[in-house]
Structure 1
Amino acid sequence: MDVILETRDLKRTFGAVVAAHNINIRIHAGEVMGVIGSNGAGKTTFVNMVTGYLPPSSGEILYRGKSMIGLPTRVITRKGIARSFQIPQLFQELTVIDNMLIALTIADNPAPPVFKPAIDRRLEGRAIEALERFGIAQHAHREVGTLAQGIRKLIDIAMATVSDPALLFLDEPTSGVSADEKMEFMGTLIEALKSSDTAVLFIEHDMEIVEAFSPRVVAFYEGTILADGPTAEVLTNDKVREFVIGTEFHRTADTEGVA
């Protein structure tokens, strides 16, 4: 698979505090990767640097072999790197379809002329298609603020994908989704993104979600990468179990079949 994103010795400091260092990651086209680590481990700092919300103190960020250092977030998005946030970035008082139309209008017109409508109704067909991909078209004409958290998250992610990104970062996509709905929610999400061959990197604290949906896992600890590899190997790594997920995780799986 082609490497679409590579970081080399990426580092970020805040004064004397080192938030991230020696971050070396390669992400391939169409890949699904989970990112784990405790709060403050450097996960979001890494995503913020790659998506332009935070400049690195040193190191390289290469997208399809070209440097992304110093580019504004909107330029990075137009080049093919998108993200969603832990808290959905939506217009709560507008309908779902209007939120989608705003996202599509911006994607199609990066610098829209002044005095033009913020919503282009001619894009409604594409908006409905995007909602159908994520299984939420039935909510198209409902006000966003009246919907459940899981639906709002899917809307936010659908909006992030209207520009057909090659790489999508998801910050805790199942946060706020009820425990009995998480698996179905994540299944819907991953299936929708597979249809576009988008590479997905998602930050997640629920190890059952990581096991079920991520073939590869990167574990962060104290601002650096503790482990990177196939999910089963990373989640049974001694250091990952000690510093990230706890030794209790996998105990049942480890002893399964033992008399």
Structure 2
Amino acid sequence: MSAACAIVARGLQKKFGAVTAAADLQIEITHGARVSLIGSNGAGKTTFVNMLTGYIKPDAGEILLDGRSIVGLAPRQIARLGVARSFQIPQLYKDLSVQANLLAAIAAQQSALSFWRPANHPESVVHADEILQRFDLLAHADRLVSELPGGIRKLLDIAMALTRQPTVLLLDEPTSGVSADEKFPMMDTVMRALEGSRTTVLFVEHDMDIVARYSERVIAFYSGRIIADGSAEIALAMPDVKRYVTGEMIAVNDHA
């Protein structure tokens, strides 16, 4: 195993009854990589993410985070080790301002590290404003979350996840619920905010335009197995991906 790997999965297996959700998965992901996990519903990508975050325990195999085994640890323990997750539906306090949400995330992180200070402590406010600036959110600092468009809410949710300075950031369908006009500017902002960071970013994404534009690497799942693993250009052109992933998605969208 290379010391450059943030995540190593070896021999991961998981079944739900007769359904195989993970069939001997072997995955290595380096620090700072930008990786999309794709596949139709039930393909196994979400099971892999849930095993990585501790919500599901594999039947067999191991997962290493920075060389440390995390199988059997609780989600909160894995989060403390450096795995942050931004959900498809943003986990925000809608009746608080943008800045207040970020301050709450910073306070929660300090509490997790057994280091507490008031949420409005001057150092916390400075830290929050630095993050808001990185995400082009400073102009929205005093707005209530309930007033924000979908793209801005997603940016805030991702910004809050990054207050933990994670080793791994999991983005669950980051452009879901975001308008077509917002999705590329939003993702451009996220990628700029992460520029130069060693944070490994995993996207669970169904939008192939987003996958092609922002991924250095694509891992495609089907029936609990990996059917493609490579650059976006190569992986998305593979026959099995066209048949089992992008083809199915196009068919679903056409009948939606």
TM-score (norm 2): 0.90
Is 1:148 aligned to 2:135, yes or no?
Answer: no
Is structure 2 residue 127 aligned with structure 1 residue 133?
no
Q: Name 2:60's counterpart in structure 1.
A: 58
Report the CA distance shift for 1:221/1:247 in structure 2 as closer, same or farther (over 3 A). Answer: closer
Q: In the alignment, what sits opposite 1:95?
A: 97
Quick one: distance in 2 between partners of 1:24 and 1:6? Answer: 8
The amino acid that maps onto 1:119 is: A
Q: Deviations over 1:218-248 (max 9, x none)?
A: 0011122111111111111111111111299
Q: CA deviation at 1:11?
A: 1.9
Asked whether 1:17 is paired with 2:39, we answer no
Figure out how many residues of one structure are paired with residues of the other and give that number: 247
In 2, Cα distance between equivalents of 1:29 and 1:193? 13
Contact 2:20-2:224 within 8 A present in 1 as well: yes
Matches within 5 A, 1:10-89: 10-89=12-91
Indicate the residue corresponding to 2:198 in structure 1.
Answer: 197
Output the TM-score relative to the length of structure 1. 0.89
Could you say what secondary structure the match of 2:164 adopts?
coil
* CA distance 1:68–1:248, shift in 2 (3 Å): closer
Partner residue in 2 for 1:165: 166
Cα distance change on mapping 1:248 and 1:31 into 2, 3 Å? closer
1:231-242 to structure 2, matched below 5 A, reads 231-242=232-243
- Runs of 4+ in structure 1 over 4 Å off: none
Whole-angstrom distance in 2 between the partners of 1:50 and 1:245: 25
The gaps in structure 1 that reach 5 residues or longer are 250-259
Find the counterpart in structure 1 of residue 224 from structure 2: 223
Where in structure 2 are there 5+ consecutive unaligned residues? Answer: 251-256
Aligned residue for 2:247? 246
* More deviation, 5-14/147-156: 5-14
Supply the distance in 1 between the matched residues of 2:65 and 2:55 (Cα, whole angstroms).
Answer: 16
Partners of 2:126 and 2:46 lie apart in 1 by 34
After superposing the two structures, state which structure 1 stretch, 12-21 or 82-91, moved more: 12-21
For 1:152, the aligned partner's letter is: R
- Does the C-alpha gap of structure 1 residues 248 and 75 become closer, same or farther in structure 2, counting only changes over 3 Å? closer
The alpha carbon displacement at 1:13 in A equals: 2.0
Deviation sequence 1:136-171 (CA, Å, 0-9, x none): 111111111111111111111111010111111101
Task: State the percentage of identical aligned residues.
Answer: 49
Distance 1:176 1:104, change over 3 A: same
